[in-house]
A and B are shown apart, each in its own frame.
Chain A
Amino acid sequence: MEAVSMQQRKKIHPHKFTLWIAIGSIIMMFAGLTSAYIVKSGQPNWQDVKTPQVFWYSTATILLSSLTIQMALRSFKQREMNRYRQLMAVTMILGAVFIVLQWNGFMQLWNSGIQFKGVAGAGQFLYVIFGLHALHVLGGAIALIVMLIKAFFGQTKTYASTGIEVMATYWHFVDILWIYLFVFFIWIK
């Protein structure tokens, strides 16, 4: 009985699986928003927007953080707990930097006169879409903080890597999602 159930479980851990479905769900939300963008961009009075430079820096930041979380996962699996903690902390900081940079980009746009009120256009979509993405990064960063606290103060004697694997998958996902959104905004006028 036990052997079989383990065999069944081995396919994929339910929590990882749940994350994959959740990712599908999040993709649908952004698919909805970006298709709305496409529908609207074909209509009269559409105002284009030039994406501020700073979003390139945030792209670099989030790419780097994907690398660090991957390394963290590796260290965890090699049981190098110190390195693991450091890399997780770096990832968390990079995540925070990303959000600050996004905020910076928003402020630049806002100050250049692209605000909520007025003629509809790409700018308003940008705030909503990038903003929702940033919320997803924020959620990830908070989860990272929780894991960090556990890593520093908890008495984890276990080496089950599911939690951190789930975390890393999610983190890579918001990274790829960002690349998609960024390319989308540069491409579709």
Chain B
Amino acid sequence: MSNDANMHGHAGVITHHEVHYDEHHVHHHKETFITKYVFSQDHKTIGKQFLITGIIWAIIGGLFSVLFRLQLGFPEQTFPILETFFGKWAKGGVIQPEFYYALVTIHGTVLVFFVLTAGLSGTFANLLIPLQIGARDMASPFLNMLSYWFFFIASVIMFSSLFVHTGPASGGWTSYPPLSALHQAGQGSKIGMDLWLVSMAMFIVSSLLGGLNYIATILNMRTKGMSMTRMPLTMWAILFTAILGVLSFPVLLSGAILLLFDRNLGTSFYLSDIYVAGQILPNEGGSAILFQHLFWFFGHPEVYIILLPAMGMVSEILSVNSRKPIFGYMAMVGSLFAICILAFLVWAHHMFVTGLNPFLGAFFVLLTLLIAVPSAIKVFNWLTTLWRGNIRFTPATLFAIGFVSLFISGGLTGLFLGNSTIDIHLHDTKFVVAHFHIVMGVASMFGMFAGIYQWFPKMFGRFLNHTLGYIHFWVTMVGAYLIFWPMHYEGLAGVPRRYLDLRDWHSFNKFDDLNKMITVVSIIVFAVQLMFVFNFFYSIFKGRKVRTQNPWGSNTLEWTTPINPGHGNWPGEIPEVHRWAYDYAKDGREFIPQAEPVGANESKDH
């Protein structure tokens, strides 16, 4: 509303959007450092801001996982250096329980939300939407800028929570009450928890602003000829991701608001009959399960918010680099759609053991297992796209193939968990940890890496170093399986998640060496990610320069822009689109860009 006025207040040309932007572009004022790199409204810069902030968070989150893996792998050892750095949190070089829980919680929160939601969607939606649909910028560049800055505020608050006296939130990334609702429940339930909630509220605002923009832009601002079914699959995936976000984040917000009331104003939405810290609480009639409903109604769509952008980029990258059209384009779109619908209907599979009515549970089992159908369609289509392709094994391709592998492995273990009877045994064990790290955590990271290797030339006009890229891929791929595969066995044997010390459980002693191995591999994998970060920043300044407009021989519109596009993307007119994005290996030609008109005697298959 008022933004509308701000954005376009000076001109009555709203109906001539194109014209308006063109004008804007021509006398595009002298940009200062501030408007160009800090408060930029250029979608490409905003994308980079998301990416770099995401990378910083990934380093923090990854480092935290190394720290708690030290505890899990070597519970009897002391690490005096930890005390040097973390003081009372690692007294005597031993990770204290409060510290362990804080590490796990912040690791989860940061990777799920700040890295794989903001870092992934924020980066590639911003970078790719206008470039791939042929628009000068987002529907509302101003809201888009706000979206980043809300994320930034959320980041600052979360980061500051690491330094408060009682430590950051420690109730797990799901922050279930009553633990998260009662200050006296523990160190991590004090101010750290409030900061966590406020930070998440800011984050939700950021996601909503971003999502609104992504949807409005994709649906309204496509260039001439870019019908919906000519869009690259990246666009479809980002569109569905944004729809999921816009419809599910508000529900998390409502859950968080009720939690804030319970925490600070004495209400009893989630609290009932509690005896804590030697005290009987007056709260009555609340239900902790209510929070789980609200959380998972959001939480399950959220896991797809993380996954879908990766799926979209993998589809695009596999097709470009196997020099073949994507197999089953409409099936790909249809399965994305089916996944989106189902994502809203399965949340209670996280709650099979909360006393959920088994009759109700049966429906959730059915709906959950149904997700296997669209998932299998996608896997089939990726494999058939690769099949007999003329594959160029760039790092991006390798990461995309790795994604497919991980998605298969992790999806299969989902089928175990989706059966409520089996889940009674597996719930809250390391099996779940293995499942979601493979299918979501590592897989989406792979999607993100694939995207970075593929579009780095568009972002910075230089290439990433490919040798380092290959090392990065192989170590991460092998490492990820070495870390998470064994956790399935531990989980099947009953090893619980969220426990920092299993030594008293003698039956689990047999996993001691396995746990040590996992920890060592984690450290190696983390080191290799640092190598990637080095590659990233080094290549921004010193990487091999991109010399041709379209280095990957790709059909999509982003490669018709100059090597280093300015604000507005195309110096002249926006190209018109004449075909879908996947005319590879057609009529004896390796690729035919979308902007090329259909030839007189071109074969008709698309």
**Interface residues, chain A, CB within 8 Å of chain B?**
1-2, 4-6, 8-15, 17-19, 21-22, 24-26, 28-33, 35-36, 39-40, 43-47, 116-121, 124-125, 128, 132, 140, 142-143, 146-147, 150, 154, 157-160, 162-163, 166-167, 170
Contacts and interface: CB of A to CB of B under 8 A. Distances in A.
A80 B25 CA distance: 35
Interface string B539-550: 000000000000
12 contacts: A1-B18, A14-B139, A18-B213, A19-B1, A22-B208, A29-B251, A44-B285, A47-B285, A116-B265, A120-B268, A128-B261, A150-B5
A21 B16 contact: no
Contacts of B3: 15
A125 B269 CA distance: 8
B381 interface: no
Contacts of A121: 285
Contacts of A39: 287, 290, 293
Contacts of B266: 116-117
Contact of B220 (A11, A45, A132): A11
Given A124-B267, A128-B257, A158-B11, A119 B1 contact: no
B12 A21 contact: no
B529 interface: no
A147 B216 CA distance: 23
Contacts of A154: 9
Q: Which of the four size classes fits the interface of chain B?
A: 35 or more
Contact of B257 (A22, A132, A150, A158): A132
Given A1-B573, A6-B15, A14 B221 contact: yes
B46 interface: no
B287 A43 contact: yes
B284 A22 contact: no
Given A26-B250, A33-B254, A21 B212 contact: yes
A174 to B, nearest CB: 12
**A interface majority secondary structure:** helix
Nearest to B298: A32
A110 B341 CA distance: 42
Contacts of B249: 25
Output the residue of B16, B215, B251, B261 with the most chain A CB within 10 A: B251
Interface string B207-238: 01001110111011111100000000000000
Contacts of B208: 22, 25
Interface in B231-269: 246-251, 253-255, 257-258, 261, 265-269
Chain B binding surface, main DSSP class: helix
Contact of B216 (A14, A24, A36, A160): A14
Contact of A116 (B212, B217, B267, B284): B267
Closest A-B pairs by Cβ, 8 of them: A158-B12, A120-B285, A29-B250, A45-B285, A14-B139, A32-B251, A32-B254, A120-B268
B394 interface: no
Given A4-B224, A44-B285, A116 B261 contact: yes
A25 B250 contact: yes
A14 B217 contact: yes
Contacts of B284: 45, 118-120
A10 B16 CA distance: 10
B19 interface: yes
Contact of B297 (A32, A43, A142, A143): A32
Interface string B135-169: 00001100100000000000000000000000000
B60 interface: no
Given A5-B17, A116-B267, A120-B269, A18 B216 contact: yes
Contacts of B223: 5
Nearest to A20: B216
B80 interface: no
Given A2-B18, A13-B14, A120 B267 contact: yes
B272 interface: yes
Contacts of B253: 29
B513 interface: no
Residue among B12, B14, B140, B249 with the highest chain A CB neighbour number at 10 A: B14
B248 A28 contact: yes
A120 B272 contact: yes
Contacts of B272: 45, 120
A125 B286 CA distance: 12
B282 interface: yes
Contact of A8 (B222, B251, B261): B222
Contacts of B83: none
Contacts of B354: none
A36 B257 contact: no
Nearest to A3: B224
